[in-house]
Structure 1
Amino acid sequence: MMRRYEIFADYFQFYLWDAGAKPSPPTDYTQDDLVHRIKSSLHVVVIQPLRNMDVPVSLELAETAPPIDLAEFDHVAETSLDLPSGRLEIHECTGGSIDILDVAPGTYRVRACFKGLDTLSEDGLDGDDRYLITLWPAPAAPLVVLKQYEDAR
């Protein structure tokens, strides 16, 4: 299943979280968190786009880890998300809920793929950047960056 959204990434972030747990987004950011462009905490994953504007996001729910061609993306990172209620909520940082999807309760792997990052305007307000988020059931595992984007600006 694939869904598409325009998400306002205020403060360069938006969230995936368990709607039943009603978690608080983390506030204890490190430099590594900013470089990884993804951060996880109890029942929440923070995705950190390069723009704090409306960004196009595709969200895919898969049954198993889909293959990935790293050459297709500028940045790819994965982490785990526990969804005990089985209700995945996509939420803006300073806005509200974008969508709530019913999934099987459990732990999921979240893969965040960033594309078109070199298309951002000098002021960072415009660009053809796109974000693909894929979730599938998987045991909890540490955050890993599969491909690191180096911002040349």
Structure 2
Amino acid sequence: MTDLRPLDQLLAGARAPLGPHIQLDLGHDTGPLAELAELLTRVNGFTAFNAGVQVFRAGAAGLGAELGHWNGPSTWKDTYTGLADGLFCFGQDLFGCQFAIADNREVVVFDPETAERTPIGAGLDDWAVWLLEDPAVRGAHQFATAWQDERGALEHDQRLIPLQMFTMGGTYDFDNLVAKDAVTCMRVRGPLAQKIHDLPDGAQVHLMADRAPAATPGSKQLAYAELDVFADYNSFMVQDETARFEPDRAWTKALITDLVAARDGVIGVGTARRTTVPVILDVRSDAPDDNFDGWDHVTEAGLHVESGSVIVSMLDYTDAVPRTAVPAGDYKARVYAKGFATVSTDGLHGDDLYHLVLWPGNIRQPQVLKRYPDPLPGG
């Protein structure tokens, strides 16, 4: 049986420090903030459980997130519009769950997708006990080891984020996770937390628009799917399941200029945000009408579906990506986009929506039917 206090036991297996020695004063003589100042004066930041847990360093030099900057309102907390108020975050786990001190009274875990706060204890030793009781899960030790064994070491400024959010049914499969800048991971999830924070358990989350493009009389819906799509590099692709395509310079230029590009079996859709966006795939027997009121940008292209199955993703063909069954054949495709003016200047959060309507018809070259007149807020 060890005589070490829990925090010392945690440090015994840590990799430290992440920054040079600093004499830290957080303005409190008692409480968990005083304990944090003492800890970082002793060891200026560290990782534990094979980077499953990270405690931020303080000061200008060092690795990973800096304590003061991380807690600045414009770093990521502004995307939570008050839901993170009163929290001083001092670390995070592999998936961006924040370890935080609430009002210098208690240590909590802050869930980045729901903004829920789970109390752990009155101080940092309670936090250390909580981690050490189940390091495989609470410290993400087992997952961090497996991920890095297969995908390589994480940078100190990276965390993992799901392509389909956990609260939206996403899994912990490797195919549903990507390593991204830790700040980006938080800013991406802030708007989601705003929408679901006050919902009761089991409530449905509606991220889609209320109004769909109007159908012509007699049109039948052949397939329909509401999807959350990771639009890496401000784009995603709609394609026949068997189609494979590597973007080239012309493709990228078309997406930047017109927000639409096409190749055999593939349509590219440009987006205002470079994160997870809501996409509606709507397959009909006839064309929608030509009323574009309420939509910011409307494009058209054509899609050949050979396999009878369509996927919407960004160069991701894994089993984790949903498939939508559609009749095989040639389709005209129209992409309606809205909400561009709501997108933040960093291109990470907003209320943009992409509604893709397919209907049987001859393949046509990509064209813009209605162009958004202003530069996209995300740049």
In structure 2, what residue type is equivalent to 1:127?
Answer: G
Match of 2:351 in 1: 128
Residue 78 (structure 1) shift: 0.5
1:102 is matched with which residue: 302, 325, 329? 325
After superposition, give the CA deviation of every residue in 1:108-136 in whole Å (9 maximum; x if it has no partner): 11111110101111222111111111111
In structure 2, what residue type is equivalent to 1:147?
Answer: K
After superposition, give the CA deviation of every residue in 1:46-75 in whole Å (9 maximum; x if it has no partner): 111111011111111110101142121000
Cα distance in 1, alignment partners of residues 329 and 254 from structure 2: 27
Residue 28 (structure 1) shift: 2.9
In structure 2, what residue type is equivalent to 1:144?
Answer: Q
Greater Cα shift, 89-98 or 67-76:
89-98
Q: Percent identity?
A: 30
**TM-score, structure 2 as length reference:** 0.38
Match of 2:362 in 1: 139
The 3-state SS of whatever aligns with 2:249 is coil
Residue 144 (structure 1) shift: 1.8
Higher RCO (Cα < 8 Å, 6 or more apart):
1
In structure 1, what residue type is equivalent to 2:374?
Answer: D
Match of 2:245 in 1: 24
2:293 is matched with which residue: 71, 75, 94? 71
In structure 2, what residue type is equivalent to 1:35?
Answer: T
Match of 2:310 in 1: 88
Residue 9 (structure 1) shift: 0.4
**TM-score, structure 1 as length reference:** 0.89
Matched, 1:15 2:237: yes
Cα distance in 2, alignment partners of residues 48 and 15 from structure 1: 9
Match of 2:275 in 1: 53
After superposition, give the CA deviation of every residue in 1:9-63 in whole Å (9 maximum; x if it has no partner): 011111111113x311432336444221011011111111111011111111110
Query: How many residues are paired up?
Result: 152
Match of 1:5 in 2: 227
Matched, 1:42 2:264: yes
Contact 2:232 2:275 in 1 (8 A): yes
Residue 149 (structure 1) shift: 1.0
Greater Cα shift, 133-142 or 74-83:
133-142
Cα distance in 2, alignment partners of residues 83 and 95 from structure 1: 16
Cα distance in 1, alignment partners of residues 360 and 317 from structure 2: 28
In structure 2, what residue type is equivalent to 1:7?
Answer: V
Are the structure 2 counterparts of residues 2 and 94 from structure 1 closer, same or farther at C-alpha, using a change threshold of 3 Å?
A: closer
Structure 1 ranges of 4+ moved more than 3 A: 30-33, 93-97
Q: Compare the two structures and name the one with the higher strand fraction.
A: 1
Which sections of structure 2, spanning at least 5 residues, go unmatched?
Answer: 1-222
**CA RMSD across the alignment:** 1.9
Residue 92 (structure 1) shift: 2.5
